[in-house]
Amino acid sequence: MDFAGRTRVLTLTLIFLVTPAEHERDTVQGSEVIRVSEGSDVILPCSIEESVEQQLFDWRKDGEKKKEVFMYDAGLHYNNGLRDQDDQFRGRVSHFPDQMKFGNASIRINNTKITDSGNYTCYFPRINGGLTFYMKLVVGSVPKPSVTIFNVTDSGVQLKCEVQGAFPKPELRWKDSDGNILDAEEPEISERDGRYHVTLQTTVTSTTTTSFQCVVQQKDLNHETASTITVSEKLFVDSCSKVTIEGFMAGMMAGAGLLTVVQAVLAAFKFIRISWIRGTKKNEEDEPETKKPLSSDIITV
C-alpha cells in the first residue's frame, strides 16, 4: 500500500470513528452531570460548530412544568428585554456574548440554590429541525457532620453523628480507626425545604482504638466528608465502673431490706425497754423527779 492509500484508510477510519461520536452528541441524554456546591456559580455548557449570534437558543429546566431559564434570539435575550423568564432564575443567568461567534451558547447561573438541581436542556429549534443538548445539574449542600458523646451507659459509650441541611440525601456511617463499619441504630431522617437532617447513633465499647469516624456520603454529588471523635479511655473505664456502681446499688437495696428487719427488732427492743422502765417507774413513783430525764432519754432513742 502506497502512502496515499494508507492516508485514505486512515481518513476513512477517522470518519468512521468521528461520525458515531458526533451523532451521539446530538442525541446525548443526560450524559453530563455537573456538580457544584450551593452558593457557587456554575457554567452549563452548550455549543455548536457555527456562530450562534444570529441563532435562537432556549435553556429550560425540567420539572412538573418546564421552567424558562434563559432564551437568546438573535441579540435579544432575557437580560435585555425578552420576557417570560422564570422567577427562580431572574437576575442570576447570563450568557457569553464574546464567545457566541465560536458557537458557544453556554450560560452561567450565579449563586446556585439547591432548587436549581435538575435536568436542563439547551435547545436550538432552527438547527437540523431542532437540536437539543441535555445535562443534569446537582447543587449540593455538604455540611460537615457534628459528632458528640451522647451518653455513657453500662453497655458502652454512645456516640451521635448529626448532619443538618444536607442535599442530596446523605448516608451516614460510623467507622473505627481501622476503617471497619460499626453497627449503628436506624438513622433518624427528616426533610424540610428539600434539605435533609440525619442523625446516626452507635454504641462503642473499649476496643483497640479510641478514635471513631462518622462518614457522610452523598452519592449523587460524588462527595464524602467525615468528622472524627476521640473517646478518652477514662470514659470506657467509667462505663465499666457504672456497672460496679449499679451492682453496689443493688446490694444496697438488698441491704435496705435487712435494715428494716434490724430496725423492727430495735423498735421491738425499745418497746420492751420502755415497758420495762414504765414498769420500774411505777415502783419508783415516790422517788424524786430527778429520775424523769432517764425515761424521756430512752423514749427519744
Ligand X SMILES: *[C@@H]1O[C@H](CO)[C@@H](O)[C@H](O)[C@H]1NC(C)=O
Q: Do residues 39 and 110 make contact, with C-beta atoms less than 8 angstroms apart? A: no
CB of residue 226 to ligand X, shortest distance in Å: 29
Which 120-139 residues touch ligand X, going by CB under 6 A?
136
Question: Which residues are CB-contacts of 169 (< 8 A; sequence separation ≥ 6)?
Answer: 189, 196, 198, 218
Judged by CB under 6 A, does residue 118 bind ligand X?
Answer: yes
Half-sphere exposure of 209 (CA within 13 A, CB side): 14
Judged by CB under 6 A, does residue 29 bind ligand X?
Answer: yes
Q: Which residues of 176-197 are buried (b: 16+ CB within 10 A; e: fewer)?
A: beeeeebebeeeeeeeeeebbb
Locate the DSSP E strands across 38-155. 42-44, 56-61, 67-73, 76-77, 93-95, 107-109, 118-124, 131-140, 146-153
Distance CA 186, CA 90 (A): 42
CB of residue 171 to ligand X, shortest distance in Å: 20
CB of residue 194 to ligand X, shortest distance in Å: 12
Judged by CB under 6 A, does residue 32 bind ligand X?
Answer: no
Cis-peptide into 168, omega within 30 deg: yes
Judged by CB under 6 A, does residue 115 bind ligand X?
Answer: no
- Give the number of residues in contact with ligand X, rule: CB under 6 A: 13
CB of residue 186 to ligand X, shortest distance in Å: 27
Question: Which residues are CB-contacts of 205 (< 8 A; sequence separation ≥ 6)?
Answer: 155, 156, 157, 236, 239
Structure-block grid coordinates of residue 243: 456497672
Which 71-110 residues touch ligand X, going by CB under 6 A?
96, 99, 104, 106
Rank residues 62 and 171 by Cβ distance to ligand X and give the closer one. Answer: 62
Rank residues 99 and 244 by Cβ distance to ligand X and give the closer one. Answer: 99
CB of residue 46 to ligand X, shortest distance in Å: 8
User: Which residue is it, cell 454512645?
Assistant: 158
Return the residue of 28, 30, 39, 273 that touches ligand X, per CB under 6 A.
30
Reduce the DSSP state of residue 183 to 3 states and report it: coil
Please state, as a whole number, how many other Cβ atoms lie within 10 Å of the Cβ of residue 80: 8
CB of residue 64 to ligand X, shortest distance in Å: 9
- Which span sits near ligand X by CB under 6 A: 15-23, 41-49, 184-192, 202-210? 41-49
Judged by CB under 6 A, does residue 40 bind ligand X?
Answer: no
Half-sphere exposure of 160 (CA within 13 A, CB side): 11
- Which span sits near ligand X by CB under 6 A: 40-48, 52-60, 121-129, 206-214? 40-48
Spatial CA neighbour of 42 closest among 22, 59, 20: 59
Closest residue by beta carbon to ligand X: 30
CB of residue 234 to ligand X, shortest distance in Å: 51
Rank residues 45 and 165 by Cβ distance to ligand X and give the closer one. Answer: 45
CB of residue 238 to ligand X, shortest distance in Å: 50
Rank residues 27 and 99 by Cβ distance to ligand X and give the closer one. Answer: 99
Positions in the binding site for ligand X (CB under 6 A): 29-30, 43, 45, 47, 62, 96, 99, 104, 106, 118-119, 136
